[in-house]
Every structure is written in C-alpha cells, then in structure tokens.
Amino acid sequence: MSVPIKTFRDLLAWQKAMQLVTDVYRASRPFPKEELYGLTAQLRRAAVSIPSNLAEGYARRSRAEYSRFVQIALGSLYELQTQLEIAANLGYLERSRFDDLYEKSREIERMLSSLHQKLAKPRTPHSAP
C-alpha cells in the first residue's frame, strides 16, 4: 500500500528533482565565467523548472492542468539533458559527472512519464487525483 500524497513535497519525483537541482548547481559551479549568463544559467533554470512545475501543477487541483504542468516539467528535463550533453561535449563536465547527472535525470523522466500517463487516464471513483 502506498503512502497518500498530501502535498507536492510527498511526491518522490519532486524530491528527486530537488536533489537534481542541488547537484546541477554544484556541478556547474566550476564552469568558465564566460558561461555564467549562457550555459550555466540555462542549465540551472531548466533544473529549477522541473520541481517548480511539479509544485505549481499540483496546486492547480485539476487533473488536466496538473497533467499539463507535468508535461512542462518533462520538457524542462529534456532541455536539461541536452544542456548536460553540451557541457560534457565542451569539457565542462567530466564524463563520470555527466553520467551521474544524466542517470538521475533519466530516473526522474521515468517517474514523470508514469505520472503523466496516470493523470491522462480517466478517473475512477477510488483513484487519487
């Protein structure tokens, strides 16, 4: 039996996305200074957008809107994955650090995809929002 979700903070995907934000900030700290307003800012914005959209979607209290915000979070996640790849290609991230961040993002991707599918299904009388 699963634990009921009372707030967005109870969502495992949100918790993991919050940890990913911290990891991305730490990993991007040593990026070249000329990237501060470029790739560094883009990476950080995309990472922050993931848990932020999960929280905002949860607050909407409508399955359709919640689903839309989960899709937006997924879009930000894909954006982050692309930017991580760019950072690795430019040598700003060591391959092992890239692999770690990418795998964490893939785990969140699977969670968000599952959540989106669940929200897209018609609601039964006994299903949670």
- pLDDT, tens digit, for every residue of 12-34? 999 999 999 999 999 999 999 99
Q: Where are the alpha helices (DSSP H) in the chain?
A: 12-28, 39-59, 63-89, 95-120
Q: Is residue 129 part of a domain?
A: no
Q: Is the pLDDT assigned to residue 125 strictly greater than 70?
A: no
> What confidence score (pLDDT) does residue 5 get?
77
- pLDDT, tens digit, for every residue of 59-79? 987 899 999 999 999 999 999
Q: Is residue 52 part of a domain?
A: yes
| Helices 12-28 & 39-59 angle (0-180, nearest 10) | 160
Q: pTM for the complete prediction?
A: 0.90
- Parent domain of 24: 9-120
| CATH number, position 83 | 1.20.1440.60
Q: How many domains does the chain have?
A: 1
Q: Is residue 4 part of a domain?
A: no
Q: What is the mean pLDDT of residues 97-112?
A: 98
